[in-house]
Amino acid sequence: MIHQVNWIGLKTLYMKEVRRFFKVQTQTIWAPAITTLLFLVIFSVALGRGGKEVLGVNFATFVAPGLIVMGMMQNAFANASFSFLSGKIQGTIIDFLMPPLTEGELMLAMTSAAVTRAILVGLALTGAMLLWPDVHLRPAHPWAIVWFGLMGSFFLALLGFLSSIWAEKFDHNAAITNFVIAPLSLLSGTFYVIDNLAPAFQTISRFNPFFYVISGFRFGFLGVSDIGDTNAAVLHSAIGLGVVNALLATVTYMVLRSGWKLKS
C-alpha cells in the first residue's frame, strides 16, 4: 500500500538514475574530474608563479575549492538535464510519468540522483587536488563546505531538470549549458576575487548566484571570503541560497505538475 509518500517508488527511480550514470562512470565522474583538474594545472602554471597569494594563501590553494564546487554544479546540471530530455526525444517519457509517483517525488528522485553525481565528482576532484603539491586544503568551517556544496548542487540540479522540461532537443539543452551555465560558472570569482574588478562589474558579480556558492564553499576551506568582511555575510548568503533553492523548487514543481511540454 502507498501511504503519504511512495518511498519504494522514490528509491527505485533514484537508484535507477544513479546506476545509469555509474555504469559509465569514466564519462560521468572521472572525465569531468580530470577536465576540471586541468584548469588547476593551467592556471597554476600561468598565474601561480612567483609565490602569488590571494586571500592570504597561494594561488593553487585559493582556486582549488572553487574548481571543486564548479565541477560539482556543472555535473549536477548535466545529470538532471539528460534523463528527462532523452526520454522525451526517445519516446520513453511515459516511463517517468506513468508510475505512481507524485510530481514532488519525481522531482526529488531526479534531483537527488544529480546531487549524488555531483558529490562523487567533488570527492574525486578533492582527492586529486590533494595530490597537487601546492594545494593545501584543510576544512576551516565544515558546515559551509557541506551547505554550499549541497545547495549549489541542488540549485543546478533544479535548473537542469527545469531545462529538460523546456527543451525539445539536445541542442536546446546544449545552448543553456554553453551560453548560461558555463559563463556564470567561469565569471563567478572562481579564478579571482571580485575586489579586483571595477565597481560596476563587482555589482554584476553579486547578482550571480554562482558567486555566492563558490565563495561560500571556499570560505569553508580557507576561513576567508570575498562575500563580505564578516562571517555574518557568509551566513546571510547561506540563508539566501536556501531561499532561492526553495523558490526554484516551487517553480519547478508547479511547471512539472502543469504538464507543460510533457503531456499532450
Query: Does residue 107 lie within any of the structural domains?
Result: yes
Residue given cell 579564478 in the structure block: 191
Query: Does residue 180 lie within any of the structural domains?
Result: yes
Cα 166 from Cα 168, distance rounded (Å): 7
Q: Which domain holds residue 57?
A: 7-258
Query: Does residue 12 lie within any of the structural domains?
Result: yes
Q: Write down the pLDDT at residue 191.
A: 87
Query: Does residue 2 lie within any of the structural domains?
Result: no
Q: Is 53 helix (H, G, I), strand (E, B) or coil?
A: strand
Counted domains in the chain: 1
pLDDT digits (tens, 9 = 90+) for 58-74: 888 899 999 999 999 99
Per-residue CA distances from 236 to 36, 210, 230, 231, 264 (Å): 29, 15, 10, 9, 43
Query: Does residue 210 lie within any of the structural domains?
Result: yes
Q: How far is CA 238 from the centre of its chain?
A: 15
pLDDT digits (tens, 9 = 90+) for 129-154: 888 888 888 899 999 999 999 999 99
Query: Does residue 240 lie within any of the structural domains?
Result: yes
Query: Does residue 1 lie within any of the structural domains?
Result: no
User: What's the pTM?
Assistant: 0.92
Query: Does residue 224 lie within any of the structural domains?
Result: yes
